[in-house]
């Protein structure tokens, strides 16, 4: 069964739970070559709810083949056309959300007026005609126009996350992602209610990138980190295990510096970045080379658990080690780790220390602490007993085991008291 095509809907869809807000940034630049004038656009996304920046997407526009469609998008990035005659709103993508997301299909945005798929307009009026169908939807990362049928192009667009040949001849492809496909993949995997993101991700700002402008692919946080946030944007051979080990160790050390200074947010950011590089490399490395990345991955996963706990003043925390997807209150998606006690952005993968090393006592200890946060004391007890079998002399494990047993006893005593009152 194929997914429904990207659309500009006529009526608002059913309202589901209100998503938490997020923001983003988008810019553009022109360049020449490849048979005609082209343009590029950069999108940076972040969540207002405090999760920080997600990343940037740089788009190249096919202005030589579809100049009218490309110019519409370019002008909507800059906001230079003023107020729309139909919507009465600024013709500008700034503040516009990605309102529709379908995994293994596409991410859709561009409704700057109603922000739900029912609005928007082009710089030429409410709608304009299909320019041509020269380009096909034959791969991920293509930029195409959403519509409500033939010749109904407005401002709404979508980015494919897989080949979508069933859209050929129906939607005008007018650009492609040249940097930041990892950001699109994160968006593709956010939690949704139906097709609506549960967390509102929007374009925080937008404009045109001139020739020679910085695309913003490299971090500028003063940490000494000189690597793109997403491995897909790095000019490095992911099969070169020596290079990947060098990069990940460097990033881990930067994370350790933040960790020691108790800057938990930055530490977790760098450790998560390490895991993105490890995850991407593991997908293409020879089987014999994979284990060389295990130590750095394990170290980062464990430190993420510690940093996440420390960052939450109430002690109710999300730990990557806890989330194995088996608990009825837990939910796991490739782009987000979700537990009943909170949320932790986790890139485009799920990895746990116990998947890396099932006998790691530190991981078992940390996961037991996570179960206690959920008041799942039996689960915590099981992990601590397993850890004690591996390291019977570890005093921290012994102390935690005693604490859990006391909590279990207190819980049972409380239940007995309740039952006694019921049958008194």
Instruction: Give the residue numbers marked as catalytic.
Output: 100, 105, 108, 147, 158, 167, 171
- 3-state SS, residue 56: strand
Tell me which DSSP letter residue 122 carries. B
Q: What are phi and psi of 173, to 5 degrees?
A: -80, 130
Q: Tokens for 106?
A: 């596409």
Give yes or no for a contact between 161 and 185, defined as CB atoms under 8 angstroms apart. yes
Considering only CA atoms, give the Rg of the chain: 25
Phi, then psi, of 270 in degrees rounded to 5: -70, -40
* Alpha helices in 283-394, H assignment, sequence order: 294-311, 353-356, 361-373, 377-390
**39 to 213, 296, 315: CA distances (angstroms):** 13, 39, 48
3-state secondary structure 303-366: HHHHHHHHHCCCCCCCCCCCCCCCCCCCEEECCEEEECCEEEECCCCCCCHHHHCCCCHHHHHH
Element (H, E) at 73: helix 67-78
Helices (H) then strands (E): counts for the chain: 9, 14
For residue 307 the two structure tokens come to 């940093």
**Token digits for 65?**
């083949």
Matching residue, tokens 């130590």: 295
Strand 205-209 versus strand 23-31 pairing type? parallel
201 within 8 A of 35, measured Cβ to Cβ: no
- Measured distance CA(74)–CA(256) in Å, rounded: 41
| SS (HEC) of 185-209 | HHHHCCCEECCEECECCEECEEEEE
Closest Cα to residue 110, out of 61, 144, 60, 149? Answer: 144
Q: Where does residue 86 rank: exposed (0-12), middle (13-18), buried (19+ CB within 10 A)?
A: middle
Contact, 216 vs 56, CB < 8 A?
Answer: yes
For residues 412 and 110, what is the distance between their CA atoms, to the nearest angstrom? 55
């Amino acid at each position: 069964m194929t997914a429904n095509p990207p659309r500009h809907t006529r009526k608002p869809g059913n309202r589901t739970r209100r998503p938490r807000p997020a923001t983003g940034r988008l810019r553009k630049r022109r360049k020449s070559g490849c048979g005609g004038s082209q343009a590029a656009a950069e999108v940076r996304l972040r969540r207002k709810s405090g999760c920080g920046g997600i990343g940037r997407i740089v788009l190249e526009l096919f202005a030589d083949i579809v100049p009218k469609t490309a110019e519409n998008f370019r002008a909507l990035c800059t906001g230079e056309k003023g107020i729309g005659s139909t919507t009465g709103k600024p013709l500008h993508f700034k503040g516009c959300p990605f309102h529709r997301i379908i995994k293994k299909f596409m991410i859709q945005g561009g409704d700057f007026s109603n922000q739900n798929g029912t609005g928007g307009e082009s710089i030429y009026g409410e709608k304009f005609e299909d320019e041509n169908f020269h380009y096909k939807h034959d791969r991920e990362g293509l930029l195409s126009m959403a519509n409500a049928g033939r010749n109904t192009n407005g401002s709404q667009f979508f980015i494919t996350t897989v080949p979508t040949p069933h859209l050929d001849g129906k939607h005008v492809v007018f650009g492609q992602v040249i940097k930041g496909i990892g950001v699109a993949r994160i968006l593709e995997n956010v939690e949704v209610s139906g097709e609506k993101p549960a967390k509102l991700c929007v374009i925080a700002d937008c404009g045109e990138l001139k020739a020679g402008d910085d695309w913003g692919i490299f971090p500028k946080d003063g940490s000494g980190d000189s690597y793109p946030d997403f491995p897909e944007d790095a000019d490095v051979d992911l099969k070169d295990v020596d290079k990947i080990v060098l990069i990940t160790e460097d990033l881990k050390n930067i994370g350790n510096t933040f960790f020691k200074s108790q800057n938990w947010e930055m530490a977790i950011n760098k450790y998560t970045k390490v895991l993105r590089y490890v995850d991407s490399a593991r997908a293409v490395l020879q089987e014999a080379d994979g284990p060389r990345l295990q130590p750095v991955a394990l170290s980062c996963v464990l430190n993420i658990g510690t940093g996440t706990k420390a960052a939450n003043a109430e002690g109710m925390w999300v730990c990557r080690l806890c989330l194995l997807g088996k608990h009825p209150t837990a939910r796991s998606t490739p782009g987000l780790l979700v537990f009943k006690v909170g949320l932790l952005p986790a890139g485009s993968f799920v990895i746990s220390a116990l998947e890396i090393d099932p006998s790691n006592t530190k991981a078992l200890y940390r996961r037991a602490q996570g179960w206690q946060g959920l008041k799942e004391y039996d689960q915590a007890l099981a992990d601590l007993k397993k850890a004690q079998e591996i390291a019977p002399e570890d005093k921290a494990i012994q102390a935690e085991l005693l604490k859990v047993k006391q909590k279990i006893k207190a819980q049972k005593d409380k239940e007995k008291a309740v039952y006694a009152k019921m049958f008194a």
